Structure 1
Amino acid sequence: MLFKKTIFPHLVCIVLSALLVYLLGYPLRVDRILLTYFSLIFFAHFTPGKFIFGFLFILAAIYFPTSYYYGSPNVAVISALLETNLDESSEYFSQLPPLLLVAPIFLILVFIFTFTKLQFPKINNKYFILFALAVCLYKPVKILCKSNANLPPTFVIDNFKYPFFEFFTDLYTSIKIYTTEKQEQLEQIKYANTIPINSVSPKHKTYVIMIGESVRKDYMSAYGFKYDNTPFANHNASLIWDGLIAPAPNTQSSIPHFISQSVFIDDKKVTTQINNNIISIANAAGFETYWLSNQGRLGKMEITVPRIAAYSKHSFYTKKGEYNGKNSRGKHDTLLLPELDTILSTEQTRPRLIVMHLIGSHPHFCKRLEFDVQFNLNNKNISCYVSSIKETDDLIKATIESLQKHHEDYALVYFSDHGLAHTDNYQDLRHNASYQNSYQVPLIFFDSNRTQQQRINRTISGFQFVYLLSHWLGIELDVKHDYMQNELMDISEQNDIKIKDWQSNELYQFDNLKKDPNPY
């Protein structure tokens, strides 16, 4: 009887507290669990408290599929929520393992039963209350005692590790950061390129920048992968560069830094000057510019990449008003080829820059395939991933064949926006900012004047990559940078490379990240 009336309710509260921290995507820490436990035993025995906590726990259950993959609320989660339509939501849920779809429903039922049937304990002991307050203040006081610096006014709030409080605070902060950055980007796009151009002397008539999606280099045979999924690049590339580090682990954060000027703040933070992008630079240099995309355009809720694409004189999207939902099924990267052929069929006296933005190997991999799976790795997801890379290699081949058909003097560069990391015991690949492989991407050049293939094994950063691309186009910018002042073969190894994650503009040491070896 004592166990049922006294001990059992406390055990349930402790289990609920630990479960809540996990569901909301926060690391399991003693202070978080204890603070949740104290709030339950102090307030959940009141009827209003039961109702409020029941609602909040149900909210945590609904958020769980998102936290499982992307953690607690952050800018990436907010941008995905605000920039996603019903079709994308449908595809997102279709990617989730069945257990993650069932778990929230099961948890909601458990929480409803618990908060309606459980008799929560009532605590009146003043010493216990003082102990609870001590746990609440322990972390802030500890840091305060160790710090000699002037602390911000929000110091206590930032170190108050109560999961519900953290969740809504992070939600508010992320929304504020998102809306502020979006407004700044909308202001930036009003302006053209501001980087002075010293000279323009392109070596080719047509330049193609092909931006791949979610390809980590160690899954390409061009970089030693044992399955031959890049046969065209293996034998026809003029230069295969091993060592490019993407600026960030997701599309929205990485591509703007790849193709726009990066602005560093005290070597601790980085932002993008999106008006100084490769399209606006090419426009100022007298190029005819084109943007061909199979990633989609989101209309009123455009993300950064479409804003950069808006600088092009001509644009083509296979998907109008949406990104990647069910209405886009069957719209593969090969749909860009007819538009490319139309462009090449048109006489143009000026040099051309054509950017092709692929859906490539974006999860869910099997839905990216236009043709049958070409490799069997005894794992459906990974087999589809390797096959999707083969289809991108085939697309590069078809693109170059189209250039050759029109007797174009061309240069083409292919790189991926970011990589992925393994999940579910190596059964799948997902976005993950914690691993080096999420940043290690291919960089492959093709050239109509190619004589002998060259390979370079040097680590270089994707930040200020726009300078390298400008130099490749034959555009000399008035900037001092290794990418601008040296030919490709003369660019030296870069040390102390930094990256940013998808949650903030803060910079982190690439070498400090964990490694995620390819087991296949």
Structure 2
Amino acid sequence: MILFKKSIFKFLVYAFIPVILFSLIGVFYTSQLKYLIKEIVEFSLFSAIIYVIGLLILRGKSRYFWFFFFLIILFTISYLKTSFYYLYQSKVTISAFYVIFETTGTESANYLSTYFDLGLIAISLLFIVFLILSLKQLNTIYKTNNSFFYFPEFNLKNIPLFFVLILFVGSLIYFINLKLKHNNFIYLAHDAYVSYSEAQQLFQTELVKPINTNFSNVSSSNNQQTYVVIIGESTSARNMGLYGYYRNTNPLLSEIKDELLVFRDVISPHTHTIPSLNKVLSLSNHENPDVIHCGSVVQLANAAGFSTYWVSNQQPIGIHETLVTAISKATKEQFYTNALTNKQVEYDEMLLPFIDEVLNKKDQKKIIFIHLYGTHISYKFSYPPHFNKFTDQPKTKFPSARSFEQINHYDNAILYNDYIVRSIIDKVKAKNENAYVIYFSDHGDEVFQDMDFVGHNEYHATKPMYEIPFVVWTSEKFQSDYPHFETLENYLDRKYMLDDFIHSFSDFSQIEFGQLQPERSIFNKDFEYRNRMIRQALNYDDR
């Protein structure tokens, strides 16, 4: 009996090591202790339910395999939770799963190469060692005290015990479901996948259609028009020479600065590509986040009689087709350069021949959407070797070999991005048509500016993650045709969030439609500042 009690005690110690590791490590990295405590309580109760179910319904080898399997599962969940706290000082959320679902294999590899540092390696090794020890202990108990895996046996003597266990499990399940389910990793993963799949189905049926009937009273001039919208990736205005950065990361755009409208206070609605572009490219905004299916900028342009094209150096396929890919399918023709080769990453110059091809098409009215690879993490893969200009020690409040390396890579990527954007402007300019080019980024990145961190996350977002370039070039013919063009220079300091882009886009393209709100256009004389709300309830301008 003493040996049996020892076996139970040993098993319980090792069985709850996933909870113990998560608790001990998480407390050092959390910035929200009360949320961590809730997660610890939930994880402890969830683990208890798993083990009690094994005791209730299984015996012998089946019980052994149940414990063996779920020890691995619980260690995996604990490792993922702990790693998330280490990287982001926050619990895993549904938004994090959305990002995972939209991430391609290449992006995952780049992510790991950037974030897998010595700290994460140490955490990984710690979990692997304790997992092996726990499984060995379980195996030892099975071989030396087999009665543990056969007790309790269901008979008249232990009916009260079974009744208590069933009551215990039922109460825990009810409590977790009622109070703590939003802290449960499996529940979050399931809920995120279900809602993501529902969104996928909706987007595939609505946004891929060339025309969306939700747009009403759409009209546009039949004059010749060539408009280009360049969507960047992970490029913060903070690191751009055009925005006052101490390094000249924009030599080519700076050469033509007198031809540009450089808006100085534009932010993205989110710090991740998919949630950001879902709002930027559709009628969705902070006040009405669930109306994405009601229409995209592509469908609006189609309804206005434009021939639309999508030229992208982003991979179109993730676990499913990405939501941005669904929006792109509504264009007349799509070109995905990253789907044409077996290389991990293609430099953005790969786009230029396709842009030439579309610019040479004989459409009276056309709009070209260009989605760059931009300054995507890992930054060193975003530019060719001959753009490796910045190699000296950069300025940063967080000096280290890693920060110096990442800042230099990022600045070189922005230097290359400068070349790409300027090349596109030059190609449009050479056509000598009624044309504009609008360039913005989906979001920015923090690269050791305000925080000892590289990349982007919405859990501890910094201003560089939101501060994006918004740059406009226009031809002389466009300037003479656009009403009150000369007043636009007065609007460059407007505080603007890009979830209202569809209104600015239609205003600047002189497309009228029933849902147009001129006060939401950065180009309009009737523009009205609205609170720039981020992360659900935080006013960006109050930070």
Query: Within 5 Å, which residues of 2 pair with 1:391-402?
Result: 391-402=416-427
State the match for 2:428 in structure 1: 403
Are 1:246 and 2:246 an aligned pair? no
Relative distance call for 1:413 and 1:15 in structure 2 (3 A) is same
Match status 1:419 vs 2:436: no
The alignment status of 1:187 with 2:215, answered yes or no, reads: no
1:113 counterpart letter in structure 2: L
Instruction: Tell me what 2:19 maps to.
Output: 17
Task: Give the alignment's TM-score, normalised by structure 1.
Answer: 0.76
Instruction: Give the alignment partner of residue 51 of structure 1, picking from 37, 47, 68.
Output: 68
CA distance in 1, matches of 2:466, 2:424: 26
Closer, same or farther in 2 for the Cα pair 1:243/1:338, shift >3 Å? same
Inter-CA distance 461–282: structure 2 relative to 1 (3 Å threshold): same
Please tell me whether residue 222 in structure 1 is matched to residue 242 in structure 2.
Answer: yes
8 Å CA contact 1:461–1:494 kept in 2: the answer is no
Evaluate the alpha carbon distance shift between residue 207 and residue 188 of structure 1 in structure 2; reply closer, same or farther with a 3 A threshold. same
Q: 1:332: which partner in 2?
A: 347
The Cα offsets for residues 6-28 of structure 1, whole Å up to 9 and x where unpaired, read as 99999988875342256799865
Paired with 2:412 and 2:275, the residues of 1 have a C-alpha distance of 26
Q: What residue number does 1:213 align with? A: 233
- For the pair 1:495 / 2:516, whether they are aligned, the reply is no
Taking the aligned partners of 1:461 and 1:197, their CA distance within structure 2 comes to: 26
8 Å CA contact 1:382–1:427 kept in 2: the answer is no
Partner of 2:454: 428
Q: Percent identity among equivalent residues?
A: 21
1:177 match: 195
1:482 and 2:498 correspond: no
CA contact (8 A) 1:288 1:352 kept: yes
What is the letter of the counterpart of residue 319 of structure 1? N
* 2:296 partner letter: N
Decide which structure has the larger Cα Rg and report it.
Answer: 2
Shift, 1:190, TM fit: 5.7
CA distance change for structure 1 residues 229 and 87 in 2, over 3 Å: closer, same or farther? Answer: closer
Distance 1:86 1:418, change over 3 A: closer
What SS does the corresponding residue of 1:479 show, helix, strand or coil? coil
Pairs aligned (count): 469
Q: Tell me if structure 1 keeps the 8 A contact 2:47–2:74.
A: no
- Counterpart of 1:232 in structure 2 is 252
Task: Please give the alpha-carbon distance, in whole angstroms, between the structure 1 residues aligned to 2:182 and 2:368.
Answer: 51
Which stretch of the first structure deviates more once superposed, 338-347 or 201-210? Answer: 201-210
8 Å Cα contact 1:208-1:356 kept in structure 2: yes
* Separation in structure 1 between the aligned mates of residue 448 and residue 132 of structure 2, nearest angstrom: 31
TM-score (norm 2): 0.73
Once the two structures are superposed, residues 450-469 of structure 1 have per-residue CA deviations (whole angstroms, 9 ceiling, x without a partner) of 69893611212222311110
What secondary structure, in the 3-state scheme, does the structure 2 residue paired with 1:369 have? coil
Shift of 1:88: 4.6
Per the TM alignment, residue 209 of structure 1 is displaced from its structure 2 partner at its CA by: 0.3
**Does 2:280 align with 1:258?**
yes
Out of 356, 363, 369, the position equivalent to 2:383 is 369
Pick the aligned partner of 2:374 from 330, 336, 360: 360
- Identify the structure with the greater helix proportion: 2
Q: CA deviation at 1:345?
A: 2.7
Give the letter for the 2:205 counterpart.
Answer: E
CA deviation string 1:349-373 (max 9, x = no partner): x122111101101111111112332
Query: Deviation string for 1:160-199 (max 9, x for gaps)?
Result: 3796xx1111111111111111122122136423312453
For residues 427 and 273 of structure 1, do their structure 2 counterparts lie closer, same or farther at Cα, with a shift above 3 Å needed? closer
AA aligned opposite 1:406: K
CA distance 1:321–1:96, change in 2 (3 Å): farther
Q: Give the counterpart of 1:344 among 352, 359, 368.
A: 359
Unmatched 5+ stretches in structure 1: 123-129, 141-152, 501-506, 515-520
Alignment root-mean-square deviation, CA: 4.2
Structure number having the greater strand percentage: 1
Task: Write the distance in 1 (CA, Å) between the matches of 2:292 and 2:280.
Answer: 11
Superposed CA deviations along residues 244-295 of structure 1, whole A, max 9, x for unmatched, are 221222111111211211167xx4x612434521111111111121110001
TM superposition shift of 1:439? 2.2
Residue 493 of structure 1: how far off its partner (Å): 4.9
Structure 1: how far apart are the matches of 2:327 and 2:109?
27
CA contact (8 A) 2:270 2:458 kept: no
Equivalent of residue 282 in structure 1, options 301, 314, 318: 301
| Aligned equivalents of 1:197, 1:386: Cα separation in 2 | 45
Matched with 2:493 is 457
Deviation digits for residues 472-509 of structure 1 (CA, Å, limit 9, x no counterpart) = 1111122351347x671625452322235xxxxxx332
Q: Give secondary structure in 2 for the equivalent of 1:415.
A: strand
- What residue number does 1:148 align with? none
Q: Following TM superposition, by how much is the alpha carbon of 1:51 offset from its aligned partner in structure 2, in angstroms?
A: 2.9
DSSP 3-state at the match of 1:297:
coil
The whole-number CA distance in structure 1 between the counterparts of 2:43 and 2:457 is 30
Q: Which residue identity lines up with residue 283 of structure 1 in the other structure?
A: N
* Alignment partner, residue 302 of structure 1: 321
